[in-house]
Structure 1
Amino acid sequence: MNGRAWLVAGVLGATALSLAFRLPRLNDRPMHTDEAVQAVIAADLWQTGRYRYDRTEYHGPTLPYLTRIALGLSGASGFGDTTEAMYRIVPALAGAAMVLLVLLLADGLGRAATVWAAVLLAVSAGMSYYSRYFIHETLLVFFTLGAMGAGWRWLRDGGTGWAALTGTCVGLMAATKETWVIATACMALAIVADAGLRRLYSLPSPERVLGGVSWRNVGISAGCAVLVAALLFTGLLSNLRGVLDAVLAWQPYLSRSGGDPRHIHPWDFYLRLLAWHRYGRGPVFTEAFIIALAGVGAAVSLARGRQMPLGRLLTCYTVLLTAAYAAIPYKTPWCMLGFLQGMILLAGIGAAAIIQAIPAAAGKWAAGALLAAGTMHLAWVGHNACFTYAASRLNPYVYAHAATDILQLDNRLRQLAAVSPDGTNTLVHVFSDDPWPLPWYLRRLNKVGYWRDADLAAAKEDAPVVIVSPQLDRAVMSVRQELYVQEYYWLRPEVPLLVYVRRDLWSAMLASRRTAATMPAGHKQTPSSGR
């Protein structure tokens, strides 16, 4: 098998490994608030065919449009039939496909470095965990790597096709999340910084290197970026104001960058999260192995600057992007994926360079074994993050997450609907100023009302099920509490919910459970149809 075949086989193997981290048990973890909101948006597009970009919230249209395809293929007949996996499959597949995109950079990274980078992308806890999240970040870094890979090929080989693909990926970045501006700005600044390094290494000027990049292809690339972004922001031309809203979107997000105190963190928040985290007696979560190898890769790229133009560019880009996100006070863990991706590419260079630097075959094997052990430890951390501690506060990637109690509440609502004479038309009243992700778990019920305060004028009739936050409990339930049985659930950490079930419905549920317990094995109880 020649070198090219080994390269392809290695990357394909890494892709298969990435699927093992991203696809299993996608239904298990409770829906995060952001996931639930995005699921409602995507399901609405799927069912109505309409999309309207909101520049103040919710990010761009690529996630709902891609999910529309997944839902169409799922066999679900409506929102109530959909499951978590039907949504999470979209970022999961994008995260796995990202491993394949590394092949676009193979001649710049080197074959061994490409395989190492692919494997590290596959097992990285941060990359794999957030590939299982129905949010925009994984799509953003997928399209970013696509733009980098296509741009590199355009620079190396020329050609209209690579120019068009680069522009298309940039357009998709723009239509995914507003922070695309940070990544593209760092790419541009990296090219400027590399121009200075070229003078340091007495290399040809950027003007000579870019001489084969025609203005015609630059125009084609820019045109593709604008066209793709405009089509998506306008809801496939159904809302032309979407283009203006996309341009104005920087205003609310700029103001938010120093806003919500719950998400204001020190400059080193991301680096500490990656380097070492242990909560109480829980397991250690660390991707320090990637950081260390990335440091080696950056040092090698600068030391061998004349022979490693892509390594120089990646070093500049990753340092700039890391600094940019460190400087922004508003921080959420998934935002680190952009510079983590750059670190992993540099780590691939570092791993290959370590083995190459050792002259003796025995030493190379020993170094390879140590690197393999480090990679296996990364895989263990990734497995803990994705599966063993997927919704645990011991896991640093679990951030502002729904409590596992929500799954128990979901099960209780199913039990109540099964014995209610109204079935899925059972009336539910929710009183909370922030009920998410509860609407996701109430999606199978057809008559649910939401109120942000205790204004009972809107609730004209007593509901069999009332869900209320403790702040509104006295105002909502004080005059009718004796008619209900009360349960207590956690919606999110430090956000409790009180659930009131009318006594007749509660008694029917208990009777159904007693009947089920005394039924012969194999007998199935027929639930209420709700008709």
Structure 2
Amino acid sequence: MSKTTLIWFAWIAIAVIAIWLRGQSLTTRPIHADEATGARITAQRLESSDYSFDPTHFHGPWLSLSGSLTAQFNAESSWTQLSLFSLRSGTACAGVLLALTPLLWRRFLGDPAALAAGALLATSPLLVYYSQMYIHETWLALFGMLALPMVHRYSIAPSIRNGLLAGLFIGLMFATKETFAISILAWLPATIASVAALRICSADAHQVRSFSRYRNAFLAMTVTALAVSTILYTDFFRTPSGILDAFKTYFVYETTPGHDKAWNYYAELLLWPKNVLGIWWTEGLVTILLLAGIFLAACSPKTLPAALLISLGALGHCLIYTVISYKNPWLMLLPWSIICLGGSLAFASWRERAPTAKVLLALTLLLTLGFQTKQSLHATGRYAADERNPYSYVPTTKDPRRMLAWIEEIEALPTTPTLAPAAVVGTGYWPLPWYLRSLDPVGYWPAPEESMQLFPLVFAMPGQQTACDQLLETSHTAFPRSLRSNVAVTLYLRNDIWDAWSTTPTK
């Protein structure tokens, strides 16, 4: 069997592992609040074939556009028809493609390094876990990891073609989430350092590109990025103000309170070993490979420009996200993907490595891959919605599904009156609307009203529970439940319906 055949079999194996880890139990985990809000926007696209970007919240248009296409493929055209599989299968596919992006680095780092990067990306617990969620960040990581090798090509061989390709993926990053600007800030000094290293290390004066070539390629990159993002933010020019709102979002965006973290939050999440649920959790072994790769690549003029772009780009992302007080795990998807790519630098110029170094590096990689795979299986398996799972961030509990199943059982009773209308009282109720889609109508109030004494079902959030208790004390029976981690919800069932249910002999 030829070397080329073995290499492609290895890539097939990486793809299979990525699909396996991201595909198992894809719809088992309860929907997250952020997923549910994204699903509502997607449903609005499906039902009205229209989209209007909100600069104050909800990020860019790509997620809802891709989600609506997946839903249409599965013959889903409304809020009530939308399924978790349609939502999550798109981001799961993005996660699989993310693991294959190192193919674009084969020419610069070699096959061993590209394969190592692909394997690290395929098995990373952070990347696997959040590939199973309908959120923007997996797409942002994919487009970022497609843009980075194009930026490298621009830095070593500036041309209109390379500028267009880089601009395409940067434009898609912008259309996915406004935080693409952090990547630009991180990559700019890294690119300058990479170009400087190329000029210093180049023995051939003809390889040093003129400023005009960089300028022309940069203009092509900028125009393409703006064109792509404009098309998507304006919903294919149906809403021209969308592109202005895309820039306006940097001044009016409203973050959700309660997510401020200490500066070392990400290091503790990903690097610091912790024993939780009887399992050791850490992805710190990747950083050992990264440090070894930086040292080895620095000794090789051939790989130094790429090593500088990757390592300084990763460092820039980490520094910026460390300074920003608003933190959550999925913001690290793109930075951590770049770090995984950096971990492969140790395998660049593989033929030049001493036999002992090859053995040590290979063993470290195998240990890392095995350990990561085990953690990924635990993270996405029985502990996927357990708040003790380090990757599970403000998870939805299993109670909403149980409430829905109970409501459906009550509806099935021959003596049960209609369960509509229903009321949700208070704020911070997502993802509850996802589970109440089958009830029609459902109203949402900031505070309880007298008319709710006649409602079959009332759901009260913690801030309005006392008021609802007082209003519904004689008309309803209260059932305390949980909605999200440390967030309760109280279900009030009208007494005549409760009596009908409780006196039914078979349930």
Question: TM-score normalized by structure 2?
Answer: 0.92
Q: What corresponds to 1:46 in structure 2?
A: 46
Letter in 1 for 2:406: R
Counterpart of 2:396, as a letter, is: A
Verify: 1:303 aligned to 2:293, yes or no.
no
CA offset at residue 146 of structure 1? 1.2
Pairing 1:481–2:473 present: yes
Equivalent of residue 506 in structure 2, options 482, 501, 515: 515
Pairing partner for 1:505 from 497, 503, 506 = 497
Please say if residues 121 and 344 of structure 1, whose CA atoms lie closer than 8 Å, have aligned partners that are also in contact. yes
CA apart distance, 1:99: 1.7
Q: Are 2:136 and 2:177, in contact at CA under 8 Å, matched by a contact in 1?
A: yes
Deviation of the 1:36 alpha carbon: 0.8
Q: Distance in 1 between matches of 2:418 and 2:160?
A: 55
Q: Deviations over 1:302-344 (max 9, x none)?
A: 2224443212211111111111111111111111112211110
Indicate the residue corresponding to 2:98 in structure 1. 98
Structure 1 residues 396 and 450: CA distance shift in structure 2, 3 A: same
The alpha-carbon deviation at position 415 of structure 1 amounts to 2.2
Contact 2:453 2:472 in 1 (8 A): no
Identity %: 26
Separation in 2, partners of 1:419, 1:455: 28
| 2:339 match | 343
On the 8 A contact 2:145/2:338 being kept in 1, the answer is no
What amino acid is aligned across from residue 482 of structure 1 in structure 2? Answer: T
| Deviations 1:353-411 (CA, angstroms, capped at 9, x unpaired) | 78963326xx8557534531331111101111122311112211111222232222232
Counterpart mapping for 1:373-392 below 5 A: 373-392=367-386
Are positions 1:7 and 2:7 aligned together? yes
Unaligned runs of 5+ in 2: none
Code of the residue aligned with 1:430 in structure 2: it is V
1:419·1:505 contact (CA, 8 Å) conserved in 2?
no
The aligned counterpart of 2:110 is 110
Distance 1:490 1:191, change over 3 A: same
Q: CA deviation at 1:460?
A: 6.2
Equivalent residues in 2 for 1:70-149, closer than 5 Å: 70-149=70-149
Instruction: Spell out the pairing of 1:30-429 with structure 2 (5 A cutoff).
Output: 30-153=30-153, 160-198=160-198, 201=201, 208-209=208-209, 213=213, 216-253=216-253, 256=255, 260=257, 262-278=258-274, 282-351=278-347, 357-359=353-355, 364=358, 368-419=362-413, 426-429=420-423
Which runs of 5 or more structure 1 residues have no equivalent in the other structure? Answer: 517-531
Q: 1:495 aligns with which of 487, 490, 505?
A: 487
Cα 1:388–1:409, aligned 2, differ >3 Å: closer, same or farther? same
CA distance in 2, matches of 1:70, 1:50: 16
**Shift in Å at residue 7 of structure 1?**
3.0
2:47–2:77 Cα contact (<8 Å) kept: no
Match of 1:526 in 2: none
TM-score w.r.t. the length of structure 1 is 0.88
Do 1:104 and 1:153's aligned partners in 2 also have CA atoms closer than 8 Å?
Answer: no
Residues matched between the structures, number: 507
Partners of 1:479 and 1:97 in 2: how far apart?
53
Cα deviation, residue 495, structure 1: 1.5
- RMSD of Structure 2 on Structure 1 (CA): 2.8
Greater alpha carbon shift after TM alignment, 173-182 vs 147-156: 147-156
**Does the C-alpha gap of structure 1 residues 425 and 164 become closer, same or farther in structure 2, counting only changes over 3 Å?**
farther
CA distance in 2, matches of 1:54, 1:313: 34
1:485 match: secondary structure? strand
| CA distance in 2 between partners of 1:369 and 1:208 (Å) | 39
Shift of 1:170: 0.8
- Call closer, same or farther: CA 1:325–1:207 in 2, change over 3 Å: farther
Q: What SS does structure 1 have at the residue aligned with 2:444?
A: strand
Q: 1:424 to 1:321 in 2, by over 3 A?
A: farther
Q: Secondary structure at the match of 1:230?
A: helix
1:269–1:103 CA distance, 2 compared to 1 (3 A): same
What amino acid is aligned across from residue 483 of structure 1 in structure 2? S
Per-residue CA distance 1:437-465 (angstroms, 9 max, x = gap): 11111112111111112344xx4661111
**CA displacement 1:187-236 (0-9 Å, x = unmatched):** 11111233454576576799924669475554433222111101111122
Match of 1:52, SS? coil
Q: Quick one: which amino acid aligns to residue 295 of structure 1?
A: L
**Cα deviation per residue 1:276-308 (whole Å; 9 max; x = unaligned)?**
353655422110111111111122222224443
Query: Relative to 1, partners in 2 of residues 1:410 and 1:161: Cα closer, same or farther, differing over 3 Å?
Result: farther
Q: Check conservation: 2:452, 2:458, Cα contact below 8 A.
A: no
Whichever residue aligns with residue 379 of structure 1, its letter is T
Deviation at 1:492, TM superposition (A): 1.6
Deviation at residue 120 of structure 1 after TM alignment? 0.7
Range moving further from structure 2, 208-217 or 426-435: 208-217
Counterpart for residue 458 of structure 2: 466
Give the residue type in structure 2 aligned to 1:69: L
Give, in angstroms, the shift of residue 252 of structure 1. 3.3
